[in-house]
Amino acid sequence: MHALVAVTHAQTFVVWFTGISGAGKSTIASIVEEQLRVRGLPVHNLDGDSLRLGLNRDLSFTDADRRENIRRVGELARLFNNAGMIVLVAAISPFREGRDVARQRIGAARFVEVYVDTPLEVAEQRDPKGLYRKARSGQLQHFTGIDSPYEAPLRPEVRVDSSQLSARDAGDEVLRTLVALKLIGE
């Protein structure tokens, strides 16, 4: 195990994984987290599902509450990042505006957007929590991709299709991008 490496503020960054439910955001973020830890880098993973159960449990899934959810997540990521942590965010974050505001608040040079682009039919087949089934049957309202919109990123730094790549390969693609952007060493 490597000793924790001191990271200057200029070297810290946020990797924001976005995509529909079941795309693989959390899985890929965990793989990236593991690889950054192996390199001895200080990293914290903010998972959207966990934040919804804790910090943001007072929010519903209306468009207004989704915007507030991502505003809070962005602020939390900024605070951790300013404290010297590399931050990974895995959250649907359905609206471009919210992701753009997070990028602006954190700083464009320190924000890496990863679009986990997975066809809706593939995400529905995976459906580990049964959410798509509930949304299709009307038991779950405001579900992204079904009766609530998802606005795909226009120019993400990384785009991976988890229906074509394994989670490990997608994580490796993110790491290659971080190296290419000179955010981490090889």
Q: Model confidence over 25-79: pLDDT tens digits?
A: 999 999 999 999 999 999 999 998 899 888 888 988 888 999 999 999 999 999 9
Closest CA to 20 of 95, 72, 103, 94: 94
Query: How far, in Å, CA of 147 to CA of 158, rounded?
Result: 27
Count of alpha carbons within 13 angstroms of residue 58, beta-carbon side: 3
Q: Model confidence over 16-26: pLDDT tens digits?
A: 999 999 999 99
The domains of the chain, with CATH numbers, are 9-180 (3.40.50.300)
Is the pLDDT score of 8 beyond 60?
Answer: no
Any idea how long the chain is? 186
- Angle of CA points 132, 135, 141, to nearest 5°: 140
- Known catalytic membership, residue 93: yes
Cβ atoms of residues 136 and 125 within 8 Å: no
Query: How far, in Å, CA of 143 to CA of 139, rounded?
Result: 10
Is the pLDDT score of 9 beyond 80?
Answer: no
Q: Model confidence over 144-183: pLDDT tens digits?
A: 888 888 999 999 999 999 999 999 999 999 999 999 999 9
Give me the catalytic one of 26, 30, 60, 93. 93
End-to-end CA distance of the chain: 17
Find the helix packing angle between 96-106 and 63-82, rounded to 10°.
20
- Angle of CA points 117, 120, 121, to nearest 5°: 125
Q: Specify the pTM.
A: 0.91
pLDDT of residue 55: 87
